Amino acid sequence: MTAASHSSKAGAALAEGGWEVPSPCRVLGIETSCDETAAAVVVDGRDVLSSVVSSQTDLHSRFGGVVPEVASRAHVELLTPVVAEALVEAGVDGSNVGAVAATSGPGLIGSLLVGLSAAKALALVWDVPFVAVNHLEAHLYGAFLEDPALELPLVVMLVSGGHTMLVAMEGHGRYRLLGQTIDDAAGEAFDKVARFLGLDYPGGPAIDALAVEGDPKAADFPRSMLAEGYDFSFSGLKTAVITHVRKHPDQAVADVAASFQEAVVDVLVAKARRAARDVGARGLCLAGGVAANSRLRERALDACIEDGLQAFVPNPAMCTDNAAMVAAAGWWRLRADGPSSLGTGADPNLRLPLLG
């Protein structure tokens, strides 16, 4: 792998850097930012040879949320077998892996350090580049794994347990923040409401499954800040659900779940559509764990058809945390910036790199 003189590569800002990546480049991706221990091998940022995810959900469910110390200890135990499985499934070893990428933030500091240290050690042993990956950018590239033919600009709605952002993507690595949540993230609202309703952890999938049997019009929950700008607020909705259930204790939980979910989806889809129209986007992309929500996917796809937008809605396994998205984002970053320094630390508060 050699540093190239700054040859311009059409169309992609992230690809305009000075690093030439020979093809095929098999990138081992490692993801340990929260409670999934994951490893994957992806070729040239798009072909997934393997993607192994070991979820720690059972370990954390009795606490109703992720316990950081429990998470990092579990990553230490699980990472070696998970990486071994990803390599075997992909049919690769140290002799033909081209780079090792790992999430460096945002996330839980102890958990991030486990994956990051392992990735640096493997890169050193195999004498290949190490690439530090931003978890938020990785979610974005999860959306492009199935359909890399981007038509820019795009509006990306990144909805996860920790983030809710509307971003205009003008090129690879060129993001402009349009709006974000002013209080709870969308996934956090799903998790908190589910916990109040006595549903399983994590709450998003539990509400999604139960809502199928419920009436989304059963309760009239607020659509906060629906007509105002691109920012979101979900904490009032959470309070409204609690107040409603206390007043109507006999109402079917499925009806409450469906009505809550509809309120969240109404706001997300309305703002994403408006943003796409206002920035003249060619497409709309969903990313992050909440993008696995069946009602959000259905409504976003309908909106894209109605508005003539290209839709990037990754399959549900690519929405929640996984390492294929890390390997894909790592490949794009390697092309743009070259290898990361082995001195790169974990950053629990790492932000998406934004323009201007």
Per-residue x/- marks for Zn ion, 117-156, CB under 5 A? ----------------------------------------
d(CA 140, CA 146): 12
Q: Look up residue 123 and give its two tokens.
A: 């890169």
Closest distance to ligand KG4 from the beta carbon of 138 (Å): 9
Other C-beta atoms closer than 10 Å to the C-beta of 279 total 17
Q: Does 202 bind ligand KG4 (CB under 6 A)?
A: yes
C-alpha distances in Å from residue 186, one per residue of 79, 229, 244, 298: 29, 17, 19, 17
Strand 174-180 versus strand 130-134 pairing type: unpaired
Which of the stretches 16-24, 156-164, 242-250, 276-284 binds ligand KG4 when contact is defined by CB under 6 A? Answer: 156-164
Write out the two tokens for 260.
Answer: 């809550």
Closest to 141 in 3D by CA, of 337, 299, 312: 312
Q: Which of 51, 56, 160, 164 is the binder for ligand KG4 (CB under 6 A)?
A: 160
Residue 289 C-beta: closest distance to Zn ion, Å: 6
67-126 binders of Zn ion (CB under 5 A): none
Distance CA 207, CA 197 (A): 9
Q: Which is nearer to ligand KG4, 22 or 198 (CB)?
A: 198
Which of 157, 155, 185 is CA-nearest to residue 170?
A: 155
Choices 10-18, 125-133, 151-159, 321-329 (CB under 5 A): range interacting with Zn ion: 321-329
Using rule CB under 6 A, residue 205 touches ligand KG4 = yes
Closer CB to ligand KG4, 97 or 285, in the complex: 285
Could you say which of 191, 273, 299, 352 contacts ligand KG4 (CB under 6 A)? Answer: 191
**Contact present, 42 and 332 (Cβ < 8 Å):** no
CB nearer ligand KG4, residue 70 or residue 279: 70
Q: What is the 3-state secondary structure (H, E, C) of 129-145?
A: CEEEEEHHHHHHHHHHC
Binder of ligand KG4 out of 321, 331, 339, 346 (CB under 6 A): 321
Query: By C-beta, is 139 or 271 nearer to Zn ion?
Result: 139
Total length of the chain: 356
Site for ligand KG4 in 253-312 (CB under 6 A): 288-290, 292-293
Min separation Cβ 146 and Zn ion, Å: 18
Strands 26-31 and 99-105: parallel
Rule CB under 6 A: say whether 115 interacts with ligand KG4.
Answer: no
Residue 164 interacts with Zn ion (CB under 5 A): yes or no: no
The residues in 14-53 that bind ligand KG4, with binding defined as CB under 6 A, are 34
The single-letter code of the amino acid at 74 is: A
- Percent helix, strand, coil in the chain, to 5, is 45, 20, 35
Q: Shortest distance, CB of residue 159 to Zn ion, whole angstroms?
A: 10
| 35 binds, options Zn ion, ligand KG4, none, Cβ within 5 to 8 A by partner type | none
Exactly one of 137, 184, 262, 321 binds Zn ion (CB under 5 A); that residue is 321
DSSP sequence for 182-226:
SSS-HHHHHHHHHHHTTPPSSHHHHHHHHHTTS-TTSS----TTT
